[in-house]
Amino acid sequence: MSREDLEKVLNDVKRGRLSTEEARRKIQTLPFEDLGFAKVDHHRAIRCGFPEVIFCEGKTIPEILKIAESIVKSGNDLLATRASEEVAQAIKVKFPKAKYNEKARTIVLRQKKPPRRKGLVVVVSAGTSDIPVAEEARVTADLMGARTKTLYDVGVAGIHRLLSNYEDLSRASAIVVVAGMEGALPSVVGGLVDKPVIAVPTSVGYGASFGGLTALLAMLNSCASGVSVVNIDNGFGAGYIGALIASPPGRRGR
């Protein structure tokens, strides 16, 4: 149940359109619904402006389907991350309108009217191998109500590719920068703009990249002001933060 849905229930009770017992049944799953193996936090959309998201890794397909059914039944938008093709196929059988982004490994089912877009999140990837993580960030920010723009394959090995897109960077409300290898790109972007930069290290690189640890430490040690860092391969977290900066819950126009 969203904030708007809860307000409607309360207003209907106030105006006599809904009995207190009917209202109780509508909100009885707040603050969470206990499925036995999982407790689905329906209250999160009211507290935070965006519903709980399904992280698919480590869950069985039946478990994912039950959680998805709970979220959809509550009337909220559905976002599932790290979803395999098998998971996507199972969800699409149950919810034919769900959309699977194979690159990002995300599943989206919109139930709400698309929000009125305000802020812009620009998602930048250093190389093409970083695009899956960047796409996860873009899908997340888009569903949360931010406008998005992507600048892919503009890493420091050919810095002119990035500089040719300076106008797009300067228009952003927040910039998500995704990079593996030595992780230098967020510092470069941070030195060019007066916008918050959310750095995402990826596990892309040869042996000395240590699965993204080298990029993570480089980003944490950035000399550019305004650069914050999320965990390795955490495109979802970066997109979420970017959307909060670009389109705060109270300003999303839902």
- Mind listing the pLDDT tens digit for each residue in 78-125? 999 999 999 999 999 999 999 999 999 999 999 877 666 678 999 999
In 3D space, the residue among 94, 126, 125 whose CA is nearest the CA of residue 107 turns out to be: 94
The C-alpha atoms of residue 190 and residue 199 are separated, in whole angstroms, by 10
Q: What string of DSSP letters covers 39-62?
A: EE-TTHHHHHSS---EE-TT--HH
Query: Residue 59 has what pLDDT?
Result: 95
Query: Residue 117 has what pLDDT?
Result: 65
Query: Residue 47 has what pLDDT?
Result: 76
List domains and CATH numbers for the chain.
3-112 (no CATH), 120-249 (3.40.50.1970)
Which are the contacts of 60, defined by CB distance < 8 A and separation ≥ 6? Answer: none
Query: Residue 75 has what pLDDT?
Result: 83
Query: Residue 179 has what pLDDT?
Result: 96
Query: Residue 36 has what pLDDT?
Result: 81
One digit per residue, the tens of pLDDT, for the chain of length 254 reads: 566 677 788 888 888 888 888 887 767 656 777 788 788 887 787 777 788 899 999 999 999 999 999 889 888 899 999 999 999 999 999 999 999 999 999 999 998 776 666 789 999 999 999 999 999 999 999 998 899 999 999 999 999 999 999 999 999 999 999 999 999 999 999 999 999 999 999 999 999 999 999 999 999 999 999 999 999 999 999 999 999 999 766 554 44
Query: Residue 254 has what pLDDT?
Result: 42
Query: Residue 63 has what pLDDT?
Result: 96
Three-state DSSP state, 174: strand
The C-alpha atoms of residue 21 and residue 26 are separated, in whole angstroms, by 9
Token pair recorded at residue 29: 């799953």
Query: Residue 30 has what pLDDT?
Result: 65
Is residue 78 within a helix (H) or strand (E), and if so which, with residue range? strand 78-81
The C-alpha atoms of residue 209 and residue 250 are separated, in whole angstroms, by 40
Query: Residue 39 has what pLDDT?
Result: 80
In this prediction the pTM is 0.83
